[in-house]
């Protein structure tokens, strides 16, 4: 069986702890690393295992008609094989190994998306052919697995993968990691590291550290390290700046909200606090990074305003 049941402790590497791993390796949208590939293959294996178990429940003696039909359709629609190249296997483990081998033979470095195609196709096929299939639970399991390994996609209820991030967002985050504000990259890296932990990604901490990064920029601009983001924003309003402060107001609102619900000041893991999702964390991280980049461009204008 492909799935490794031995739980492995995730060890954060030097490159991750110190911010040398690019954002597009943490949130993967145009490639997949080995961990994410294996996660998608595990989803595929679970689908095949479901078909075998379901077939066994229906028939007194196990027959391979269902798996053979699936294999045929998979070869045609995913691998684009011709009938003379089909390899018919008899049991789910053998079928999975065959599909995995075929995928790896078919794939090149530019065809990472076929793994998503394979999972999407298998779930659609099962949903169309098995009346007892729990689609909602299966989609939830798939999204939990690929989220753990940094996928920039999620499966919708229509059984289609959709992006939760794009290259522009990743470029924005990466630019914020290289801003001229001294403290902001530290917090952005902490946010990315909280997302990277495969055993237990902490999306609440991603949101908290993203806001901390913005707060550090406001403190630098007004020259007072003991101010909160809210207090710094009020002081900035008194300056005669050439920027539109209305653009910054939503971040002040977000800061107030996460402070009120207890996400900040070491309380992000409190069991009573709402657990935010990967997509919500990416949304806040991306927008905070965009604000940091904006402030970086206008830092001198703001600092010298009377």
pLDDT at 134: 92
Other CB atoms within a 10 A radius of the CB of residue 85 amount to: 10
pLDDT at 47: 86
pLDDT of residue 281 exceeding 90: no
The residue with greater pLDDT, 262 or 173, is: 173
Q: 9: pLDDT confidence band, cut at 50, 70 and 90?
A: very low
**Whole-number average pLDDT of the chain:** 76
* Residue pLDDT, tens place only, 26-71: 788 888 888 888 889 888 888 888 887 776 555 544 455 677 778 7
DSSP assigned state of 81: -
Question: What 3-state DSSP class applies to 153?
Answer: strand
- Contact yes or no for 232/221 (Cβ under 8 A): yes
Rounded to whole angstroms, the Cα distance separating 231 from 60 reads: 72
Cβ neighbours for 136, distance < 8 A, ≥ 6 positions apart: 157
Give Dmax over CA atoms of the chain in angstroms. 85
pLDDT at 5: 34
* Residue pLDDT, tens place only, 127-154: 998 888 899 999 998 998 888 788 888 9
Rounded to two decimals, the pTM is: 0.64
Cβ neighbours for 77, distance < 8 A, ≥ 6 positions apart: 121
- Contact yes or no for 153/1 (Cβ under 8 A): no
- Contact yes or no for 173/251 (Cβ under 8 A): no
Rounded to whole angstroms, the Cα distance separating 256 from 136 reads: 35
Q: 4: pLDDT confidence band, cut at 50, 70 and 90?
A: very low
Rounded to whole angstroms, the Cα distance separating 37 from 115 reads: 7
Q: Which of 82-91, 132-141, 166-175, 230-239 has the lowest mean pLDDT?
A: 82-91
Indicate the burial class of 81 (C-beta count within 10 angstroms; 0-12, 13-18, 19 or more).
middle
- Contact yes or no for 146/39 (Cβ under 8 A): yes
Other CB atoms within a 10 A radius of the CB of residue 7 amount to: 7
pLDDT of residue 17 exceeding 60: no
* Residue pLDDT, tens place only, 150-205: 888 899 999 999 888 888 888 899 899 888 888 999 999 888 888 776 667 788 88
Burial of 139-177, coded b for 16+ CB within 10 Å and e otherwise, reads beebbebbbbbbbbbbbeeebebeebbeeebbebbebbb
């Amino acid at each position: 069986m492909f799935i490794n049941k031995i739980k492995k402790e995730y060890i954060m590497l030097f490159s991750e702890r110190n911010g040398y791993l690019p954002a597009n390796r943490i949130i993967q949208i145009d490639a997949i690393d080995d961990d994410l590939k294996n996660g998608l293959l595990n989803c595929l294996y679970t689908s095949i295992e479901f078909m075998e178990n379901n077939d066994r429940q229906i028939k007194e003696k196990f027959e391979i008609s269902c798996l053979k039909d699936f294999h045929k359709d998979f070869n045609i629609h995913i691998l684009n094989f011709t009938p003379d190249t089909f390899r018919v296997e008899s049991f789910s483990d053998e079928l999975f190994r065959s599909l995995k081998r075929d995928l790896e033979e078919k794939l090149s470095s530019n065809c990472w998306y076929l793994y998503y195609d394979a999972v999407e196709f298998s779930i659609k096929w099962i949903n169309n052919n098995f009346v007892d299939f729990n689609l909602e639970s299966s989609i939830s399991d798939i999204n939990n697995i690929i989220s753990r390994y940094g996928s920039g996609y999620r499966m919708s209820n229509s059984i289609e993968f959709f992006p939760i991030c794009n290259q522009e967002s990743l470029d924005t985050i990466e630019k914020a990691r290289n801003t001229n504000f001294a403290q902001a990259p530290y917090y952005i890296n902490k946010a990315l590291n909280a997302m990277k932990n495969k055993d237990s990604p902490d999306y609440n901490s991603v949101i908290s550290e993203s806001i901390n990064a913005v707060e550090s920029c406001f403190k630098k601009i007004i020259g007072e390290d003991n101010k909160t983001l809210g207090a710094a924003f009020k002081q900035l309003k008194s300056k005669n700046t050439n920027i539109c402060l209305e653009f910054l107001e939503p971040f002040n609102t977000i800061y107030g909200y996460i402070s009120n619900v207890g996400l900040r000041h070491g309380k992000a893991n409190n069991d009573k606090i709402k657990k935010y999702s990967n997509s919500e964390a990416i949304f806040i991280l991306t927008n905070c990074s965009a604000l940091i980049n904006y402030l970086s461009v206008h830092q001198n204008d703001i600092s010298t305003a009377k």
